[in-house]
Chain A
Amino acid sequence: MEDYEAQEQEFWAKLEESEFSRSSMLRRSAAAALGLTILGGAPSLAAAARRAGAAAPPLKGTAANMAALVAAAKKEGHLNVIALPPDWANYGEIISTFSKKYGIGITSDNPDGSSAQENQAIVSLKGDPRAPDVVDVGPSFAVSGTVQGLYGKYFNSNFATIPRAMKDTRGYWTGDYWGAISIGYNASLISTPPKSFADLLKPEYKNKVALNGSPLTSNSAVSGVFAAALANGGSLSNVAPGIDWFAKCKSVGNFIPVQTTPQTVASGQTPISIDWDYNNFAYVKEFPSAKWTVTIPSDGVYGGYYCQAINATAPHPNAARLWEEFLYSDQGQILFLKGYAHPARFTDMNGRKVIPKALINALPSGALYSKVKFASLGQITAAKATINTQWPAKMGA
């Protein structure tokens, strides 16, 4: 059985357990719930004509038709992206480099949107020239988006060198980068560097440990719980020890519920932050005065990846495919690495020695990452259900 089939089966099994039917799920997402929902009207005549006139975009990227793809994309002249904060995995530079290289203007909408909002934007803006052309979503949303028929197939030129576990073999989505949960801390306020989850329970960190949001809503925080679970006798299928660790951290007075933001990092309100490594690394550059330092916890290493997908009804389908080509090219993948996110093709590129040494040295030692574990879709869904019931009970005021 193909990976994606197993994933889909798990997905529907979980859905059924929570008493939703397939048809209502599809209906519900079709009803404008949230996100960029405003325009449901008929597409403007211009956009319709443009789409009708454009030749069908290629299914596979190859060296041969790259030139044609670039020409077609330039003709479309624009690309809509969504939920890409400029300081997340270096998307700011990626966007401007792409734009300059191909002369294609990019509209970056709702930079702080969630994966849920990205999928919903595809649905509610369908037919509108402002609909997102490409999305960058968490794996569970990549699978649900595929099931709902939101994405179009595409095999970029480097599809083969993306790890099997990080792509949909039918071509609906591909993992673009991954990161691991890290501990970032303010070296000017913290004298003893914490190295593990166990360290963070020490009394010298009173009122200092924070998460990037609440696990009830934030993907990063859910991943923090996973990492804590791995460090405390739990597993990818059992995150309860992770929740217990946070409860313990709170009861000894170390954990504070304040969400880590650039402001709280700069002001010193959250001197220790449990977050994705690429987010923590972004603070290093941004706030030199905070002497922000990043380390991967030695007792629990949890990784998560994000997935690229192309909108099935993208207003600029050729530009969308060119964007994917760019992201998965060596140049694009190295740009991710500049943002301290591990690109999906890291192993392949490392083997071919095309990564600048300086970048490799800037990352924390490979040894720390070697223990990284990724959860499957089913495990993520189960963990969220556990967190939903146990977190308020154990962590509530």
Chain B
Amino acid sequence: MKTGRRRLPLAWLGAVPFFLYALLFLFIPAASIIAGAFKDAKGHRTLSNIHQVFQSQYIDAFRTSIEISVVTALLGGAVGLAIAYAALREGTPRWIRSGMTTFSGVAANFGGIPLAFAFIATLGSVGIATQFIDNVFGVNIYNSPVNFAIWSKTGVEITYLYFQMPLMILVIAPAIDGLRREWREAASNLGASSWQYWRHVGLPILMPSILGAMILLFGNSFAAYATAYGLTSGAIPLVPIVIGNFYTGDVLSNPHLAQALAFGMFVVLGAMMLLYVPLQRRASRWSR
């Protein structure tokens, strides 16, 4: 196959349409945000916005956002993987697969006030699950010792799983499809248990996709806004909510501080990406 030097420029041409689109509709707005983060109200260059980001209330927002995102990415990823595999493996009827895939597609985008209210109606102080547990087990989860509240960090995490797990299912499904049936059969023929299959065959092969998917889940959770707001009215400080406050509130707005916060989000996700690359390279030793 000819791979002379002359081919290379042509090959790069194939990527041009995409990059052009990305430039017009992604890079430029993103760049204007980064530029804006370093400007003050008069348009001069300044680091004061960045400096303000380090105030405790904003640092708290970042800490909480990261915490919730990590928890829901790991939990959502793990449980999502388990459910996806359960539905896609051999022996499971076909209709379960279609039903789950399509359901996940919808659930992955079910958010905002409808989702918040669905969970308030379930696990709120007068929710059906709360009342069921109270009636059947005699335990009111809103009192001690449980002291649960749907508007707490835990409540937000539980609610977030509603779109995190489906996202995991959707993204990992093609990869699970790539796990050949023959490998599982071969492993069990050699006497491997289920756990051993996963540890030595299944997980290593899936790992790059799993990692990629978890990063996606992290980012998805990190940027989520409407659901947490519906549950807590912003009582739990999350970075997108704080940014949104600047734009939609009746307070005097400071878009440059908002852009500095958005820049902070960039930094966090950039750091995640830096984690991802070496992990990915290590994990992909096992793929073809």
Contacts and interface: CB of A to CB of B under 8 A. Distances in A.
> Do A and B contact each other directly (Cβ–Cβ < 8 Å)?
yes
Interface of A: 15, 18-21, 24-25, 28, 33-34, 114-117, 138, 140-141, 207, 211, 213-214, 216-219, 222, 256-259, 261, 263-264, 267-269, 381, 384, 388-389, 392-393, 395-397
Contacts of A211: 233
A28 B56 CA distance: 27
Interface string B113-145: 100010011001111000000000000001000
Given A214-B234, A267-B120, A267-B121, A261 B113 contact: yes
Contacts, number: 111
Given A24-B41, A24-B43, A258 B251 contact: no
Given A20-B41, A214-B234, A397-B153, A116 B248 contact: yes
Given A258-B151, A397-B64, A33 B250 contact: no
Contact of B126 (A214, A269, A384): A269
Interface size bracket, B side: 35 or more
Given A267-B121, A392-B57, A384 B41 contact: no
Given A257-B235, A384-B252, 9 more contacts: A24-B43, A114-B249, A140-B250, A213-B233, A214-B234, A257-B232, A269-B126, A269-B127, A388-B251
B255 interface: yes
B182 to A, nearest CB: 51
A33 B124 contact: no
Contacts of A33: 247, 253, 255
B41 A397 contact: no
Given A258-B120, A258-B233, A392-B57, A217 B251 contact: yes
Contacts of B237: 392, 396-397
A114 B244 CA distance: 13
Interface of B: 40-43, 56-57, 60, 64, 113, 117, 120-121, 124-127, 142, 149, 151-153, 229-237, 244-245, 247-253, 255
B113 A217 contact: no
Contacts of B120: 258, 264, 267, 269
B110 to A, nearest CB: 16
26 contacts: A15-B252, A19-B40, A19-B41, A20-B41, A24-B42, A28-B41, A114-B249, A116-B248, A116-B249, A116-B253, A138-B250, A141-B250, A214-B233, A217-B248, A217-B250, A256-B149, A257-B236, A258-B120, A259-B230, A267-B121, A269-B120, A388-B251, A389-B57, A395-B235, A397-B152, A397-B235
Contacts of A269: 120, 124-127
A257 B60 CA distance: 18
B193 to A, nearest CB: 44
A214 B249 CA distance: 10
